[in-house]
Structures are given as C-alpha cells and as structure tokens.
Structure 1
Amino acid sequence: MELRTLRYLVEIAEEKSINRAAEKLYVSQPTLSRAIQALERELGFAVLERTNHGVSLTTLGERFYYYAKSVVGQLEAIEKLRADRQEDTRSRLSVSVAKLILKDDMMLQYRTALSAAHAELILLETTQEEAVLNVASLRSEIGVITANSLQLQAIRRLLEIKELELELLAECPLCVHLSADHPLAAQKEIAPRDMLDCVYMHLPYDYFANLNYMNQMDGVQLSDFKRTITINNYHAMINMLKHTDAFIFGNRWQADELRKGSVATLPLEGVDIAVSLFWVKRKKELLSAEALCFLDLLRKNYGFM
C-alpha cells in the first residue's frame, strides 16, 4: 500500500469528486480511478460508491479514510519537521473543549513550553457531542470534556462506535455559577428551587445535553426553569453572568478562572450529581508533541480528584 494512494483517497473523500480531486492533485482522472481500484482489491472491500452528487465513502471506506488521513497527516508533519530550519519551526494543535472554561494561565504555560518560533493553537469551544465528532472527523486532535454521570455513560457508547478512547482526569460535584453580586451568592450553598426565578443559561442543546432532562435536582428539573438563554460563546456567557441574574451549571475546575471575572461558584444543596473531567483521542493513534505538551499541562492544572 503506497502513501501516494492514501493521499489520493483522502483528497477524493474530501472533494467528494474524482474529477475535482484529480485537478487538485495534478493527475488524470483515470490514474486516480485505477489507484482506488487497486486499493480496493488490496483491502478486499469497496471504499467509494458513486452517487448523484459524485462519490462518497462506504461504511468501511469511512473508517479506512480516518486512518489514512491520520497516516498522511503524521507523515507530512515528519516531512515538514525535516524541512524546517530550527529557528523557523512551526507547531499546530487543534483542541475541542466542551463545558469547561480553560484557565488563561494554562494557555500561557503551553506557549512557554513550546520551542517553535510559530505556534498555532485552535480552541474550539463547543458542545459535548460536537467535541466528540470533531475528534472522530480529525478536525481536532483531542477533546477536553466535562459531563455528568448520565451523560458519561452515553458518551462512552459513542466513543466506542467512533473508535475513540478517553482518559478520566477528575471528578467533582455539580456546581452553580452566578454573579458575585447576586443575592444568592452570599449563601454557602444554593438549593435548585431557590433559582427558579433566575435565568438559566446554557450552551446549545445536543443529544447529551438533552439527557439532563432526565436528572432530578432535589425535585427540580431543567424544564421547571421558565426563563432561559442559549449562548455558544463562553466569554459572552461570563459577561452575561456578571451583569444579570442568570446562572449556569458547572464545575469547580473553572471556579478560579470565573472568580477573576467576579463570578461566584457555589455547591448545590441536596443534589448528588457528579461531574467528570476527561479527554478523548482516536484509538491507536500517536499524539503529536504539541498534544502531549497540552495534556501534560491539563493534568497538572486540573488532574485532581
């Protein structure tokens, strides 16, 4: 199996067209077709099927594509490393983060730890489901996620389907975040029923967020909150917390960072819901030096039980 053929397949899969892939690769369409046919004979199964809109991956072809893209990407990184001069090295890392506001200090630590002259860190703040899918589709190398015990069971099933794995870092009780000036912030803990007149703020719903409607918090369900705000940006969420009576459910790992923005973190009275912090990656894939550096800092900053 040749690396060139893997490059061909990756380009065809992403372009969804043999003709467009041929144009980008500067090879003829028959050359691509013959290469894919030879690959399918070698594998013993079809990787592409024709559709009204071009070509698409078969079920097995999609799984093979993820491995092929990973191999191509890592070999290209090796080639680039060999070609780069030491004083002009570059690094790139994409991380999907779900339901966790990362410490600014950790980002500074990451930049300081890198020897590259040019560093690119792409943080995609998103939902739990999207974080998992981003890693599965190679949009992100790793995902950092928090989830309650009910969500974690479902996430584990999805990870198995997508051939991903996780490492559990820490666990804590569910908390609530609200403005330090909020009347309820003076209490040692907050009962969910005390917040029914406040605005419940959350990220856009996905499959795992919808599972929360099955959770009871001392007799209160999410559907009992009649005033809600949906925001897909963490910094906008923090600003809303500071200046309104809104609140979010969260965790203790982001308490220090939120405190800098005058946002308080309190435990929930009478609520026995645990939140787990973990990271995910693709199975059997070697992580880049950048990802290993990021994970080392993640464990140092958050890896306490």
Structure 2
Amino acid sequence: MTLQQLRYVEEICKCGSISAAAQKLYIAQPSLSKAIHELENELHITIFDRGRRGAALTSDGLEFLDYVKVILRQTENVKARFANKKEPLRLSISVQHYIVAVDAIIEFINHKLESTPDFSIKIRDGNASQVIDDVVSGYSEIGIICISNLNRHLMNRLFQTNDLVFHSFGKFAPHVYLRCGHPLTAHQILTYDLLKPYPYIVYEHGDNPLNVPEESVILEDRSNMKCICVTDRSTSLSIIRNTNAYNIGSGCLLPNIVGSNICTIPLKTTSESMQFGWIKLKNMMLQKEMIEYIHLMEQTICKFSNVQKEFS
C-alpha cells in the first residue's frame, strides 16, 4: 500500500468515477483501475462498487476512506513541518456552538498569522455527533464539544471506540442569554418559572443521544413551552437581540462577537455543571499552530469567572 494509492482513492471519491479521476490525475484509466485493484487485493476488501453511473464506496470503502483522510492529512503536516519549501498553513476546527472558540480564532488571525503568507482556516459549527464525525474522519484536527451527565457515558464509550482523546477546558454552571432590555434583567438569578412565559431558543440536534445541547440542563417540565429551533449561533443571537426570547449556555459573554445588547444571568437549576473541552485522534500529531490556538482558547476562558478551569 502506498500514499499514491491512497490519493487515488480520495480523488475517485471526489470525482465519483474512475474515468473522471484519471483525467484529473493525468493518468491512464487502466493504470488507475489497476492500482485500485492491487490495493483491494492487498487489503482483501472491495473499496468501490463499479457501475455505469460511476464508482460508489462500499461499507468497507467508507471505513477505509476515514483512515485515508487521516493518513493524508498527517502526511501534509509532516511535509509542512520538515520540508524546505513551506506549504500553506491549513487548520480545520469543528465547534459545538461556542463563542469562545470564535474569539480565539479572531485572536489567532490577528496576532499569530500576520507574518504567514498563505493559510486556510476551516471552522465548522455543528452538534456533538457532527463534531465527533469530523475529527474521526480527519476533516478537522480538533473538535470542541460539551459533555453533560446525560451523555457522558455514551461520549466516553465513543471516545474509546474511535481512539479519541478528550481534554477538558473547564466546567460551567448554566446561564441565561437575554437582550439587555428584557423584562427579566432586573433579577440577579433566574428560575424556570420566571422563564416559562418567554420563547426558548434551542439548537436543532436531531435524535442522536450524543447531541445533548447546553440548554438541556433545564430538567423541569417543559410542557406548553414556546420554543424556537435554530441551527446556528448567528440566528440565535439575532433573535435574542430583537425579541424577548432567551437561550441557555455557558455564560461566556464576548461583546465583540455577540454585541453589546445581550447580557447573561445565572440560572438556578438542580442539574450539575456542564463540561467542555476539545477532542483529537489519539495518535494525531497536532500542528504547532493548532497548539497555539488551543492556548489562546485557554487564555480566553481565563477571562470568565463563571468557568471552573481544568487546565494548567
């Protein structure tokens, strides 16, 4: 098995057919087909189902592709680290709706990348299962997620199954996000009964038990609630700024990101604090720039007294 064969597999997946991939790779189609057959014979699996409509990944092929992406990504990192000619910096991060992650990216771009001639940064906002899938598949180097008592057992089992490592940033008690002119801003602490008359914003998370959102810390009866379901942070903040709707989260408030018209108030709840941190593949070697980004995340978290830090 060679790196070239792995690149062939990735290109066929992108193009959808062996013939299209051969044209893009500037090699003869029979040569490409032979290379894939040799790889399949070596591994004793079928990677592609060939048909008139192109080449589709088999179940073994889908699993194999996850490893291919990780290996090729690691190869790029090694080349960028040790080759004489510097490759463009590429960073990819998946985040579970955390503004502190965005603040750290802003700091990173403004202060760490001024002298970097070429770079590409990918930031993907998603729920817990999407973040984990991105890291396992190699799409993202790290993922930033939240763990609660409701999903802790499943998360730990998934980390072990997929050779993932979780590093905690800290724990936080739930806070309510409101517009500054909201009728409830006169209170120093909020309760479920006080919140019940107002629209409640939640992030869409599907039926996957891993996707326990931050707002799930409210365990009281939610019957007859006014509920607004959104998919992204920007929509949530826009609704909060312009209505009496509210959201629940870590309480980390960054005016340069959320604006000056939003405040947070602690929520009285019987649930335990939530834990948030970052994950990576166990054997993944992080780029030094990614390590610098993680340190910036830690510096951002240190700004907030409501977060119990869990890093040195």
**Match runs of 1:14-93 below 5 Å:** 14-50=14-50, 53-79=53-79, 82=83, 84=85, 90-93=88-91
SS at match of 1:246: coil
TM-score (norm 1): 0.84
Aligned-pair CA distance for 1:150: 0.9
Q: Structure 1: how far apart are the matches of 2:49 and 2:112? A: 46
Aligned-pair CA distance for 1:105: 4.7
Aligned-pair CA distance for 1:8: 1.0
Identify the range of structure 1 (35-44 vs 2-11) with the bigger mean alpha-carbon deviation: 35-44
Q: Structure 2: how far apart are the matches of 1:218 and 1:135? A: 30
C-alpha offsets along residues 112-147 of structure 1, whole Å, 9 cap, x if unaligned?
123412333222222222222222333322211224
Q: Structure 2: how far apart are the matches of 1:108 and 1:270? A: 33
Q: Determine if the alignment matches structure 1 residue 182 to structure 2 residue 182.
A: yes
Contact 2:253–2:264 under 8 Å retained in 1: yes
Q: Structure 1: how far apart are the matches of 2:167 and 2:21? A: 37
Gaps of 5+ in 1: none
Higher helix fraction (1 or 2):
1
Contact 1:176–1:248 under 8 Å retained in 2: yes
After superposition, the Cα gap between the structure-2 partners of 1:49 and 1:244, relative to the gap in structure 1 and judged at 3 Å, is same
C-alpha offsets along residues 40-63 of structure 1, whole Å, 9 cap, x if unaligned?
232233333346743333334333
Aligned-pair CA distance for 1:104: 5.8
| Counterpart residue number, 2:123 | 123
Q: Structure 1: how far apart are the matches of 2:18 and 2:119? A: 34
How many residues were matched structurally? Answer: 299
Gaps of 5+ in 2: 303-308
Q: Structure 1: how far apart are the matches of 2:132 and 2:264? A: 27
After superposition, the Cα gap between the structure-2 partners of 1:135 and 1:264, relative to the gap in structure 1 and judged at 3 Å, is same
**AA of the residue aligned to 1:255:** L
**AA of the residue aligned to 1:97:** V
**What is the RMSD computed on CA atoms of the aligned residues?**
3.0
| Counterpart residue number, 2:230 | 231
| Counterpart residue number, 2:278 | 279
Q: Structure 1: how far apart are the matches of 2:103 and 2:199? A: 30
**AA of the residue aligned to 2:136:** A
After superposition, the Cα gap between the structure-2 partners of 1:218 and 1:67, relative to the gap in structure 1 and judged at 3 Å, is closer
After superposition, the Cα gap between the structure-2 partners of 1:75 and 1:217, relative to the gap in structure 1 and judged at 3 Å, is closer
| Counterpart residue number, 1:290 | 289
SS at match of 2:99: coil
**AA of the residue aligned to 1:99:** H
Q: Structure 2: how far apart are the matches of 1:218 and 1:136? A: 31
Aligned-pair CA distance for 1:293: 1.8
Q: Structure 2: how far apart are the matches of 1:146 and 1:302? A: 14
SS at match of 1:193: helix
SS at match of 2:105: helix
After superposition, the Cα gap between the structure-2 partners of 1:101 and 1:259, relative to the gap in structure 1 and judged at 3 Å, is closer
